[in-house]
Amino acid sequence: MAVAGSSDPAAPPLPTPERMDRLYSFVRGVARFWLWFFFKRVEVQHAERVPLGGPVLLCINHPNNLIDSLLVGAVITRKVHYLATAALFRNRLVGRFLSACGAIPVYRRQDDPDKMDRNTETFAACFRALEAGGLVGIYPEGTTHAEARVQRIKTGAARIALEYEARRQGGGPGEPLTVIPVGLTFDVRKSFQGHVRVAFGEAVPVGPYLGGYREEPAKAVEALTTAIQWGMEAEVLHVERMDHAGLVRAVDELYRSELIRELQAERGLSPRQIDTVRLARSIAEAVAYFEGRDPERAAHLADRITRYRAMLAAYQLRDMAVRARLERPPARRRLRRSWQAALGLPLFVYGAVVSGLPYFLPRWLARRIAHKETDYATTRLLASIVALPLFWGLEIWLVWHFAGLRWAALFALSLPVSSVLAYHYLAGLSRLKSQLGFTMLALTRRQAAKRLLVERRSLIAEIEQAKTDFLAATKGSSF
């Protein structure tokens, strides 16, 4: 058997990946830094499924606007030619920048109803990129959305794949095409330092649909579109019915920490080894099971969660405060946290002074400007890319002017680290504030605090019983 990289003359040559030009490499490097800064954790699954060379078509869900393209481009080592709405190219400067980065304009009916015929140019550009061994990224849903599902995708990806392969097998240029579904899942869309998962699925074969494409193109396109849809759904939390989504989200928020603690205790897994999307998908399966077979039980659980949330809102509390009181970490851990809080206070004050304004200003702008949930993170990231260098540059210049170059260099090095530490400290203060709120409730309205504790404990017990019944009934399903 030939080994990759061997000199065996019988071995087929490895496909040559498209070289990243300097502009794309620079943009990708800047994006990687800001994504590291913006997200607490970027989890990448099965990036090895993307071939290192040869034509590839990535079919990506679209939950978070520009952030999606930055993430996928940052985690793979090849240049991605994204299909982007032609509306972005109307600005001459932006259009030239996108074109230089390899983006391909696509005309959408909602943006350019009178230019739909120009999508023949889009297809031609895709074919040229693929024939040259390039990698094309497409968002088959056609638009961004905040739903916990993959919307019904358009046929564009299937049409590109089938037409490319038909041309190639008919004597045209290029190597066999690989179609990879990609799933993007954001733990929270708006929170700074959140968690995002980028999952690459198994390749969707195009060959089985080629025979039908020659005879009945429309049916073959529809069949391959469905296969791509299934591949994308397998890589994200996909809730088939939107009326289930609220209950799935509510159970996930209440019960995820219990499941994680259970997996850590039973299987010895670390937090990084636990796939939270898989946990949420299992919860979605269980909700769908009870909605179909025991709707009264599902409705009763939904009502109880609604009442519990109403109690939290009435006392202006968060569930994390009630959960923290029930869990009560060991005294040693509480003491360690107290020492960390005391030692971290000077760092927090320093980070808040030097980075407070460039942190809060982009958040304020995003809340004012972003009209859709899917635009918030992109607006905040772009504003941060402008605000942080601007404010930090001014501060470094002031230190240089008054204290000299050496102090300015040390100050510049301290800015990113102190900012991240200050944010984590701020998050800890938020948790402490919530817990203090519950403590005050327990002191002033003891019975109300007790009702919250009893209600949450009872809710978790009911969910635990539902999980046990679900696993017993489905045999083989797992959390």
Does residue 13 have a pLDDT over 60?
no
pLDDT at 8: 45
pLDDT at 12: 47
Does residue 10 have a pLDDT over 60?
no
Q: How many residues does the chain have?
A: 479
pTM of the complete model beyond 0.75: yes
Of the pLDDT bands very low, low, confident and very high (cuts 50, 70, 90), residue 158 is: very high
Count CB atoms within 10 A of the CB of residue 449: 21
pLDDT at 238: 62
Mean predicted confidence (pLDDT) in 254-283: 77
DSSP 39-72: EEEEEEE-GGGS-SSS-EEEEE--SSTHHHHHHH
Does residue 104 have a pLDDT over 80?
yes
Write the CA distances from 438 to 293, 377, 459, integer angstroms.
Answer: 38, 31, 19
DSSP 389-451: HHHHHHHHHHHHHHH-HHHHHHHHHHHHHHHHHHHHHHHHHHHHHHHHHHHHHHHH-HHHHHH
- Of residues 50 and 257, more confidently modeled: 50
Does residue 174 have a pLDDT over 80?
yes
- From the list 438, 479, 451, 187, the residue with the least C-alpha distance to 328 is 438
Cα–Cα distance measured from residue 267 to residue 185, given in angstroms and rounded to the nearest whole number: 25
Torsion, CA 319, CA 325, CA 331, CA 336, rounded to 10: 20
Cα–Cα distance measured from residue 325 to residue 323, given in angstroms and rounded to the nearest whole number: 5
What's the one-letter identity of residue 205?
A: P
* Helix 373-403 × helix 22-38 angle, to 10°: 90
Tens of pLDDT along 177-197?
A: 999 999 988 877 666 667 788
Tens of pLDDT along 389-415?
A: 999 999 999 999 999 999 999 999 999
Tokens of residue 393, six digits: 């540059």
Q: Which residues contact 473 (CB under 8 A, 6 or more apart)?
A: 289
According to DSSP, residue 152 is labeled P
Reported as type and span, the H/E element at residue 182 is: strand 178-186
Does residue 322 have a pLDDT over 50?
yes
Mean predicted confidence (pLDDT) in 107-126: 77
160 CB-contact burial (10 Å; exposed 0-12 / middle 13-18 / buried 19+): buried
**3-state secondary structure at position 111:** coil
Mean predicted confidence (pLDDT) in 369-375: 79
Does residue 20 have a pLDDT over 90?
no
**How many CA atoms lie within 13 Å of 446's alpha carbon, on the beta-carbon side?**
1
**3-state secondary structure at position 76:** coil
Residue written as token pair 């400067």:
93
According to DSSP, residue 269 is labeled -
pLDDT at 206: 94
Helix, strand, coil shares, percent, the chain, to 5: 65, 10, 25
- From the list 24, 100, 76, 62, the residue with the least C-alpha distance to 378 is 62
Write the CA distances from 472 to 18, 282, 283, integer angstroms.
Answer: 51, 14, 15
According to DSSP, residue 88 is labeled G
- Can you name the residues that pair with 43 across neighbouring β-strands? 197
For 118-136, b where at least 16 C-beta lie within 10 A, e where not — what string?
ebeebbebbbebbbebbbb
Share of the chain above pLDDT 70, in %: 87
* Phi, psi dihedral angles at 445 (to 5 degrees): -140, 75
